[in-house]
Chain A
Amino acid sequence: DQQVKQNSPSLSVQEGRISILNCDYTNSMFDYFLWYKKYPAEGPTFLISISSIKDKNEDGRFTVFLNKSAKHLSLHIVPSQPGDSAVYFCAASKRTGANNLFFGTGTRLTVIP
């Protein structure tokens, strides 16, 4: 049972424009959410996280928005750059107890120069 879902397997965006990657979750016990970026032949790289007590977290060009009532989060990248082209994974966890992350299936972002 997939508790974290990324329904868009791929996304293409023009350089300089905004990229919006979406993620939905089903488990209301999740209270900590992360985004990872993955290049081929490398492990996932941590990008940004958000706790359920917040609805927005910003770090440079990356902003994550959390809508708890809709069980939805999104990652905004502004402006998009060709180096952002990668697979992006959304992950969720329950901060109490074990820190196992539940991952979505990923969205492949292509930024076109």
Chain B
Amino acid sequence: DAGVTQSPTHLIKTRGQHVTLRCSPISGHKSVSWYQQVLGQGPQFIFQYYEKEERGRGNFPDRFSARQFPNYSSELNVNALLLGDSALYLCASSVGVGGEQYFGPGTRLTVT
């Protein structure tokens, strides 16, 4: 069975640009969560979506937004990129709102 997949693997953007990251959950999983991992830190929660509805939001500015599609895949959008947005962005899926979350390999975003 395929695990959580994310695209692209790596991305380089310049300050002020916009970026869209994509995630496909494990088959049968209806919840997707997004995390940001800055070098040397643990992942930090950004959003959780379940059945296309936002179920949780972390302490991130409004420049960050996300959505979930009918097939349960998800997109994370970041506007007006800052140097500090450079990080590994992780997507995790779970069957429901609770329970174990399974992570994808991440998208490495570099903002120059």
B103 touches A99 (CB 8 A): no
B48 touches A103 (CB 8 A): no
Q: For residues 60 through 112 of chain B, which have their beta carbon under 8 Å from a beta carbon of chain A?
A: 90, 92, 94, 97-106
B98 touches A101 (CB 8 A): no
**How many B residues face the partner with a CB closer than 8 A?**
27
Q: Is A102 an interface residue (CB 8 A)?
A: yes
Q: Flag A92-104 by CB within 8 Å of B: 1 or 0 each.
A: 0101011111111
Q: For residues 38 through 69 of chain B, which have their beta carbon under 8 Å from a beta carbon of chain A?
A: 40-45, 48, 55-56, 58
Q: Is A36 an interface residue (CB 8 A)?
A: yes
Residue ranges of B at the interface with A (Cβ–Cβ < 8 Å):
4, 31, 33, 35, 40-45, 48, 55-56, 58, 90, 92, 94, 97-106
